[in-house]
């Protein structure tokens, strides 16, 4: 006994401060966590963000509403379609115009495709961080199909800029619809593949059940949204709560968890993928005919073939591109449900063609702030599980 | 050959030459196996993960391991500024030597073993424990926090699983009545099932799980968990020193596969009821059976890696101390009681 006391006197124990990131395999980009460790236990966790700051909000204020759209591709770069949809919906609300029915359905289709492709990456990377390599590569197989479909649709795979203010860039072809329908029919069996590998896996459950628990009340207070919030049992989804596009015309369930741990958030997102698949299927079946751009010449660009032929259309195009549309004064907030959570765009308009203030409410930023709450008191390995489960993309977080 | 050499050389030189030749053959073939173990791992896991694996270098990518080796050999050997240099130099060597010298006691087929010592099994344990020094020292001497944590994890992991692995093999020792690996194989051949894996199924299970932990493979690859500790204990290593760790690790896998083949699956023999049924199998050389068993076990290593996630540190410890060690102790008690009971009957 005296020996032990002697040893404790001679050896002083210290906490270890370790900088995880900005270059680290598990931080999903350039997140930096300053961890204070006592052995394997995390005593303190401080996230540092901003390594990917490009000033997207300020850049948006220097461009016309029409020209700021490609910036939103660079927010959450793995689901750029959803950001575009969120942006054009917000701007349409400000302009007071509405997209035609067919365009709304098309936007719903592409947004849900974006949701599947984003959730698939989340699944792959989250599971890879926990140590299972195979689902990651399976996941990219399915994402590749969606990327190919996007390429067929608009020529771009990653930064699509496909939706337009007042509609979408071009109509979708029958060939695209056929291939998408094949994917939709096939996708549930692929989901079963993942679930066989992961969901009931004993090690997976050991690593995620009871990890990073956050109660419903606390989750609301932290401002969590999306799957991260629904995992705690709060039934909040912008698509149900304030429907935009064609979400009020399709049936889908909003899955919610019960315990608010990593495993419930995992289950919620897995079910969301199945629901997204269901939404796409309904949209394809109900897709109405008609134009894909709103008839609002003050805000939307004239058709390109007319611009090349006709003087009036050329002038019209020139004015809209250089000066921007004439916008009513006022301010508007519009939230949309992107794969990460609620992505909000807030515009203050002074009546010119450029926003006076463009503010992006990025879910990843809010979710990164909850990391200390989830990680402190856990182990290093739980930090990894928590980063994966809140599903952040630093492009959106840092803007 | 010994008769030919014996004609003009004194006998002890003949012995020495033969031993040196054996060592050269074992190391050459062993290292070739290690190199191609990496190739097969990439191929097998590739096909499990809807990819193709290496296929650019040589036909079917068969020269890939050699290209990797050449590349690593010519890479810059980076040493961190504040590293403890002698230890930093030494630790990959310790790790590799410990792994490769285990090959010396493994009987590949009847009467082909470099050192036919009667404590073969103990020697293997000793060497795999020595390998842990390489890991711990590399983590310590790198002067990097990630490597340090990796080294610490490895130390506790290897110590815990060494115990369960040792205990799991006690049942085999009891049944064979020897620690000599060749005798263990011969004892198995005499046994009705021909393999100790059947009566020693608890021991076999504990051994397999411990083997994964000893070789730092998924689901127990915590010392090098890339998503947590970047690369664990060899984070700061590059070039050929990194290659030594890599080689040592794959040698470790081959050693573990060999131990399981020898102690549980009958080594170079196949069960007698099989040869009674199909007599022509007697003409197949023993080395082929041995290698077949080793390859199957290696395939199992790959398969598990492609399937399972990773355990957390405390869960790993809990499995080792609360599940595997009690199980293997139970196995020893049962084996001993059954053995005494049978002896009493005879």
- pLDDT tens, N- to C-terminus, chain A (399 residues): 556 666 666 667 777 888 887 877 666 778 888 888 887 788 888 888 888 888 888 888 888 888 888 888 888 888 888 999 999 999 888 888 888 888 989 999 999 999 999 999 999 888 888 888 888 888 888 889 999 999 988 888 888 888 888 888 888 888 898 989 999 998 898 888 888 888 888 888 888 888 888 888 888 998 888 888 888 888 888 888 888 888 888 888 888 888 888 899 999 999 999 999 989 989 888 888 888 888 887 888 888 888 888 888 888 888 888 888 888 888 899 889 888 888 889 999 888 888 888 889 889 888 888 888 888 888 888 888 888 888 888 888 888
Note whether ipTM > 0.85 here: no
The shortest CB-CB distance from B49 to any of A40, A137, A201 is to A137
Q: In chain B, what residues touch A134 (CB-CB under 8 Å)?
A: 48-49, 306-307
The shortest CB-CB distance from B230 to any of A25, A131, A382 is to A25
CB atoms within 10 A of CB A310: 14
Which residue from B110, B121, B100 is spatially nearest to B32, judged by alpha carbons?
Answer: B100
Touching check for B139 and chain A: CB below 8 Å?
A: no
Please state, in angstroms and rounded to a whole number, the distance separating the CA atoms of residues A392 and A340: 7
pLDDT at B43 over 80: yes
Touching check for B45 and chain A: CB below 8 Å?
A: yes
DSSP B323: I
Unique residue bearing structure tokens 């096939």: A186
How, if at all, do strands A357-361 and A16-20 pair? unpaired
pLDDT at B91: 87
Q: How confident is the model at residue B342 (pLDDT cuts 50, 70, 90)?
A: confident
Which residue from B54, B222, B42, B128 is spatially nearest to A40, judged by alpha carbons?
Answer: B222
Give B205-253 pLDDT, tens digit per residue.
999 998 888 888 878 877 666 666 766 777 778 778 888 888 888 888 8
Cα→Cα distances B283→A72, B183, B270, B286, Å: 72, 22, 12, 9
Please state, in angstroms and rounded to a whole number, the distance separating the CA atoms of residues A273 and A282: 14
Cα→Cα distances A338→A92, A171, A386, Å: 18, 23, 20
pLDDT at A8: 60
Mark yes or no for CB contact B306/A134 under 8 Å. Answer: yes
Please state, in angstroms and rounded to a whole number, the distance separating the CA atoms of residues A301 and B258: 72
* Residue B259 burial by Cβ neighbours in a 10 Å radius (0-12, 13-18, 19+): buried
Q: In chain A, what residues touch B48 (CB-CB under 8 Å)?
A: 134
The shortest CB-CB distance from A384 to any of B48, B221, B228 is to B228
How, if at all, do strands A167-168 and A330-338 pair? unpaired
Which residue from A239, A236, A238 is spatially nearest to A256, judged by alpha carbons?
Answer: A236
Q: How would you label B136-173 residue by residue, b for 16+ Cβ within 10 Å and e otherwise?
A: bbbbbbbebbbbbbbbbbbbbbbebbbebbbbbbbbbb
Q: How would you label B229-253 residue by residue, b for 16+ Cβ within 10 Å and e otherwise?
A: bbbbbbbbbebbbbbbbbbbbbbbb
The maximal CA–CA distance of chain B, rounded, in angstroms, is 69
pLDDT at A26: 67
- State which residue of chain B sits closest to A26, comparing Cα positions: B227
Q: In chain B, what residues touch A382 (CB-CB under 8 Å)?
A: 312
Helix (H) or strand (E) holding A282: helix A262-286
Touching check for B322 and chain A: CB below 8 Å?
A: no
Cα→Cα distances B301→A206, A339, B135, B155, B250, Å: 21, 36, 21, 22, 11
Q: In chain B, what residues touch A212 (CB-CB under 8 Å)?
A: none
Mark yes or no for CB contact B310/A203 under 8 Å. Answer: yes
Q: Which domains does chain A have, with CATH numbers?
A: 50-398 (1.10.645.10)
Q: How confident is the model at residue B319 (pLDDT cuts 50, 70, 90)?
A: confident
Please list the alpha-helical segments (H only) found in chain B: 2-6, 11-48, 64-74, 85-101, 120-141, 145-176, 181-190, 201-214, 226-229, 239-263, 272-277, 286-307, 313-318, 325-345
Distance from CA of B41 to the nearest CA of A (A): 13
- State which residue of chain A sits closest to B52, comparing Cα positions: A137
């Amino acid at each position: 006994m005296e020996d032990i006391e002697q040893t404790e006197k001679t050896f002083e124990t210290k906490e270890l401060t370790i900088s995880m990131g900005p270059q680290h395999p598990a931080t999903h980009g350039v997140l930096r966590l300053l961890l204070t460790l006592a052995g394997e236990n995390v005593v303190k966790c401080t996230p540092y963000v901003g390594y990917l700051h490009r000033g997207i909000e300020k850049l948006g204020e220097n461009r016309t509403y029409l020209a700021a759209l490609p910036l939103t591709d660079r927010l959450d770069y793995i689901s750029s379609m959803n950001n575009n949809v969120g942006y054009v919906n917000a701007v349409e609300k400000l302009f007071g115009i509405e997209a035609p029915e067919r365009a709304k359905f098309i936007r719903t289709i592409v947004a849900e495709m974006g949701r599947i492709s984003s959730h698939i990456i989340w699944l792959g990377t989250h599971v890879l961080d926990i140590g299972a390599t195979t689902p990651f590569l399976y996941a990219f197989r399915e994402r590749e199909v969606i990327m190919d479909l996007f390429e067929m649709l608009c020529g771009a795979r990653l930064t699509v800029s496909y939706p337009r203010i007042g509609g979408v860039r071009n109509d979708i072809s029958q060939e695209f619809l056929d291939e998408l329908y094949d994917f939709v029919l096939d996708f549930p069996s692929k989901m079963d593949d993942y679930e066989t590998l992961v969901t009931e896996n004993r090690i997976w459950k050991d690593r995620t059940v009871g990890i990073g628990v956050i109660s419903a009340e606390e989750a609301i207070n932290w401002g969590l949204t999306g799957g991260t919030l629904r995992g705690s049992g709060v039934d909040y989804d912008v698509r149900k709560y304030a429907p935009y596009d064609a979400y009020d015309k399709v049936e889908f369930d909003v899955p919610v968890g019960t315990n608010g741990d990593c495993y419930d958030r995992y289950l919620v997102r897995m079910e969301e993928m199945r629901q997204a698949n269901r939404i796409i299927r309904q949209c394809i079946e109900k897709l109405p005919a008609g134009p894909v751009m709103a008839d609002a010449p003050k805000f939307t660009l004239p058709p390109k073939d007319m611009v090349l032929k006709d003087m009036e259309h050329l002038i019209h195009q020139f004015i809209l591109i250089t000066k921007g549309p004439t916008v009513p004064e006022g301010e508007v907030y519009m939230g949309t449900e992107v794969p990460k959570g609620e992505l909000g765009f807030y515009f203050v308009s002074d009546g010119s063609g450029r926003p006076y203030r463009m503010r992006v409410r990025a879910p990843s930023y809010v979710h990164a702030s909850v990391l200390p709450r989830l990680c402190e008191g856990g182990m290093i390995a739980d930090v990894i599980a928590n980063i994966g489960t809140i599903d952040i993309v630093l492009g959106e977080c840092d803007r | 050959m010994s008769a030919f050499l014996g004609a003009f050389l004194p006998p002890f030189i003949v012995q020495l030459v033969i031993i040196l030749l054996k060592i050269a053959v074992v190391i050459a073939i062993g290292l070739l196996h290690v190199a191609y173990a990496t190739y097969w791992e990439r191929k097998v896991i590739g096909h499990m993960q809807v990819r193709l694996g290496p296929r650019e270098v040589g036909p079917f990518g068969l020269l890939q391991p050699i290209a990797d080796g050449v590349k690593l050999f010519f890479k810059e050997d980076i040493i961190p500024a504040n590293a403890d240099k002698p230890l930093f130099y030494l630790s990959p060597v310790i790790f590799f030597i410990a792994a490769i010298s285990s090959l010396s006691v493994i009987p590949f087929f009847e009467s082909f073993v470099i050192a036919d010592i009667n404590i073969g099994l103990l020697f293997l344990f000793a060497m795999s424990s020595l390998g842990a020094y390489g890991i711990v020292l590399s983590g310590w001497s790198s002067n990097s926090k990630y490597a340090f944590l990796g080294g610490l994890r490895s130390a506790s992991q290897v110590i815990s699983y060494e115990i369960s692995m040792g205990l799991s093999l006690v049942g085999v020792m009891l049944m064979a009545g020897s620690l000599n690996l060749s005798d263990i194989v011969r004892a198995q051949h005499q046994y009705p099932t021909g393999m100790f894996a059947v009566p020693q199924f608890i021991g076999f299970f504990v051994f397999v799980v411990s083997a994964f932990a000893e070789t730092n493979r998924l689901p127990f690859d915590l010392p090098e968990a890339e998503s947590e500790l970047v690369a664990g204990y060899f984070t700061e290593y590059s070039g050929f020193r990194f290659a030594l760790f890599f080689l040592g690790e794959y040698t470790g896998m081959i050693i573990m596969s060999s131990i399981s083949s020898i102690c549980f699956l009958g080594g170079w023999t196949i069960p007698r009821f099989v040869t009674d049924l199909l007599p022509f199998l007697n003409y197949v050389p023993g080395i082929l059976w041995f290698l077949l068993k080793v390859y199957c076990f290696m395939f199992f290593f790959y398969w598990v890696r492609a399937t399972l996630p990773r355990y957390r540190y405390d869960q790993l410890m809990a499995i080792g101390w609360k599940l595997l060690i009690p199980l293997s102790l139970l196995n020893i008690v049962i084996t001993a009681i059954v053995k005494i009971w049978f002896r009493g009957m005879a």
